[in-house]
Amino acid sequence: MEFKIVISYADGKTIKKEVKDKQADALFGLKIGEEFSGETIGLSGHVLKITGGSDKDGFPMRQDLDGNRRVKLLLSKGVGFNPQDKGERRKKRVRGNTINEDTVQINTKVMKPDKYEAPEENKAEEAPKGKSESA
């Protein structure tokens, strides 16, 4: 099993992390709105809240639909449908709020810490700017 996790920080920065095997199994069965420790996916010191996601065919997950099934709902607004006209309703296919084997992407936001702290593996050493030493 493999998930792509999009992690959003309070200051607007986002990072994408791919998790496989044991890390992915730990997320199996969680629902939208639940919080989990970032240590589960290799981000120590973080608490993440699941805000949404999508399945293998690109259908969005809705918080108000329990389970992991995919259904066609008559929607007037919200996740999965943005009406163009006032009062417009349309049948749209959406996925339930539980993470399962069909889920591909999980959207999360950081609850703690509020500041962007790049994970150790993503930090790159920056060369000092200015005059080069070869001159």
The residue among 46, 81, 51, 55 whose CA lies nearest residue 63 is 51
Whether this prediction's pTM lies above 0.75 is answered by: yes
Tens of pLDDT, residue by residue over 82-125, are 999 999 999 999 999 999 999 999 999 999 875 666 555 554 44
How do the domains of the chain map onto residue ranges? 2-112
Give the whole-angstrom CA distance, residue 89 versus residue 86.
9
**3-state SS of 84-119?**
CCCCCCEEEEEECCECCCCEEEEEEEEEECCCCCCC
Higher pLDDT, 13 or 123: 13
Tens of pLDDT, residue by residue over 38-72, are 998 888 889 999 999 999 999 999 999 999 999 99
Q: Are strands 2-8 and 14-20 parallel, antiparallel or unpaired?
A: antiparallel
Position 114 scores a pLDDT of 55
